[in-house]
């Protein structure tokens, strides 16, 4: 009798052991972890601090200002995430259609965030995705770029970013400070860039209030820039070039025409001024990129909702001059200007 009870006890223990093992296996299948690895799963789950982020960068064209913005952006994100951020950096070589191709490749790769460096890149991103967060930089006026009427400062949806707009009335005042006796100002810009049109329209009003006659000289791309710039230099006493990516990439062409003609050029940003201008009221594009990178870090970490992030602007502006061209044209520069290095 005792032997029978003992045997029954052993059989019951065996059944319970099998049952417990079955329950354990079922629990681990639910978490996706192998049996006996529950501790490892708990330690690795939700480890957001170790996530790797993929960031696509679409830059319209290579020139100093856009290059500096991209570098500042990458430096800020690398400082935040180290090697846990992977950049796919592509340059459209000045072609808006190529911007669309690049953006579509980012969407297909399901990147975590897109940097659109310059207006055509931002426009391509707007058309390419309404889900992936998109930050613009080196974009002058977002309402104009994205076709938003009565722009309030916040795009909404999946888009935000930083603006490189310097005070246009102060640029007009700078021209007046240096060339008070000039009569006619030529507004030289690329008609394919909506933000360039916005800038020259705004500057024109300010200059006319100061007593200047103004005329538009628009070019469609770098192929007709030489002809248009030559006409402007023949007609005008001073030329104004806004923050314009096509002009920036072809600043040498403008300089080769305007400097020999003795016509000074006022520019909207430092990169163009370094190539063909006498003075500018400019920002640091590197700092602008850093600011954009800090916005990106907040989005990637879930600390900010991009739909509620207003466009950010450069914190300060600096009067700068191109010593070489100023000396060549005999332009005297006030003491509060800094030389472009």
CA distances from 278 to 85, 217, 255 (A): 40, 19, 10
pLDDT of residue 341: 85
Average pLDDT over residues 246-258: 96
Do 175 and 159 reside in the same domain of the chain?
Answer: no
The pLDDT tens digits of the residues spanning 51-61 come to 999 999 999 99
Q: Phi and psi of 46, rounded to 5°? A: 65, 25
- Chain centre distance of CA 133: 13
Percent with pLDDT over 70 in the chain: 86
**Pair 80, 181 in one domain:** no
- Whether residue 7 is predicted with pLDDT greater than 90 in this model: the reply is no
The CATH number of the domain holding residue 266 is 3.40.50.2300
Sign of CA dihedral 207, 211, 216, 217: negative
Candidate from 27-36, 140-149, 162-171 with smallest mean pLDDT: 27-36
* 214 and 334 both lie in a single domain: yes
Q: Is the pLDDT of residue 14 over 70?
A: no
Question: Does 8 map to a domain?
Answer: no
> CA geometry: angle at 192 spanning 256 and 220, to 5°?
45
Q: Are residues 139 and 201 in the same domain?
A: no
In a domain, 80, yes or no: yes
Domain membership of residue 17 (yes or no) is no
Q: Quick check: 23 pLDDT over 50?
A: no
Please check whether residues 324 and 249 belong to one and the same domain: yes
Mean pLDDT of 15-35: 35
Residues 226 and 292 in one domain: no
222 in the same domain as 328:
yes
- Among candidate residues 221, 212, 209, the one with its CA nearest the CA of residue 240: 212
Q: What is the mean pLDDT of residues 324-330?
A: 98
Say whether pTM exceeds 0.95: no
pLDDT at 36: 33
pLDDT the model gives residue 176: 98
Q: Does 255 reside within a domain? A: yes
pLDDT tens by residue, 289-316: 999 999 999 999 999 999 999 999 998 8
What is the pLDDT averaged over residues 199-204?
Answer: 97
Give the separation between CA 225 and CA 160, rounded to whole angstroms.
32
> Is residue 326 within 8 Å of 319, Cβ to Cβ?
no
- Of 310, 327, 314, nearest to 270 by C-alpha is 314
Residues 116, 125 contacting (CB under 8 angstroms): yes
Lowest-confidence region among 20-34, 161-175, 185-199: 20-34
Regarding whether 181 and 278 lie in a shared domain, the answer is yes
Percent of the chain with pLDDT over 90: 82
Query: Could you tell me if residue 227 is inside a domain?
Result: yes
Strand pairing of 279-282 and 318-321? antiparallel
Q: Could you report the per-residue pLDDT of 260-288, keeping only the tens digit for each?
A: 999 999 999 999 999 999 999 989 999 99
- pLDDT of 48: 54
Is residue 206 included in any domain, yes or no?
yes
Query: 186 and 97 in one domain?
Result: no
pLDDT digits (tens, 9 = 90+) for 132-156: 999 999 999 999 999 999 999 999 9
Is 277 within the bounds of a domain? yes
Same domain assignment for residues 252 and 301: no
Report the alpha-carbon distance of residue 111 to residue 206 in Å, rounded: 43
Q: Are residues 68 and 159 in the same domain?
A: yes
Q: Which residues contact 266 (CB under 8 A, 6 or more apart)?
A: 171, 174, 175, 178, 238, 239, 240, 241, 277, 278, 279, 280
Assigned domain for 43 exists: no
- Per the structure, the complete domain to which residue 110 belongs is given by 51-164+284-310
Domain count, the chain: 2
Q: Is the pLDDT of residue 34 over 80?
A: no
pLDDT (0 to 100) of residue 66: 96
Structure tokens at 272: 């163009």
235 and 328 fall within a common domain: yes
């Amino acid at each position: 009798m005792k032997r029978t009870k003992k045997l029954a006890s052993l059989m019951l223990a065996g059944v319970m052991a099998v049952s417990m093992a079955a329950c354990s296996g079922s629990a681990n299948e639910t978490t996706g972890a192998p049996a006996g690895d529950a501790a490892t799963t708990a330690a690795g789950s939700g480890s957001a601090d170790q996530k790797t982020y993929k960031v696509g960068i679409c830059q319209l064209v290579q020139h100093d200002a856009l290059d500096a913005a991209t570098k500042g952006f990458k430096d800020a994100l690398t400082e935040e995430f180290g090697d846990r951020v992977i950049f796919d950096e592509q340059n459209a070589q000045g072609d808006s259609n190529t911007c669309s191709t690049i953006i579509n490749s980012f969407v297909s790769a399901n990147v975590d965030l897109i940097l659109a460096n310059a207006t055509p890149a931002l426009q391509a991103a707007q058309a390419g995705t309404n889900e992936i967060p998109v930050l613009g930089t080196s974009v002058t006026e977002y309402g104009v770029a994205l076709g938003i009427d009565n722009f309030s400062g916040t795009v909404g949806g999946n888009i935000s970013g930083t603006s490189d707009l310097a005070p246009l009335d102060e640029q007009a005042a700078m021209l007046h400070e240096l060339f008070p006796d000039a009569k006619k100002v030529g507004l030289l810009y690329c008609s394919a860039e909506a933000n360039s049109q916005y800038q020259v329209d705004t500057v024109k009003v300010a200059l006319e209030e100061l007593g200047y006659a103004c005329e538009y000289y628009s070019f469609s791309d770098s192929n007709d820039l030489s002809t248009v710039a030559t006409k402007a230099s023949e007609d005008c006493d001073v030329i104004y070039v806004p923050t314009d990516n096509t002009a920036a990439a072809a600043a040498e062409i403008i300089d080769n025409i305007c400097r020999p003609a003795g016509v000074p050029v006022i520019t909207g940003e430092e990169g163009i001024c370094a190539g063909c201008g006498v003075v500018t009221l400019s920002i640091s594009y590197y700092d602008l990129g850093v600011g954009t990178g800090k916005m990106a870090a907040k989005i990637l970490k879930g600390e900010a909702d991009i739909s509620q992030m207003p466009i950010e602007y450069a914190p300060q502006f600096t009067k700068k001059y191109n010593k070489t061209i100023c000396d060549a044209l005999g332009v005297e520069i006030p003491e509060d200007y800094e030389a472009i290095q």
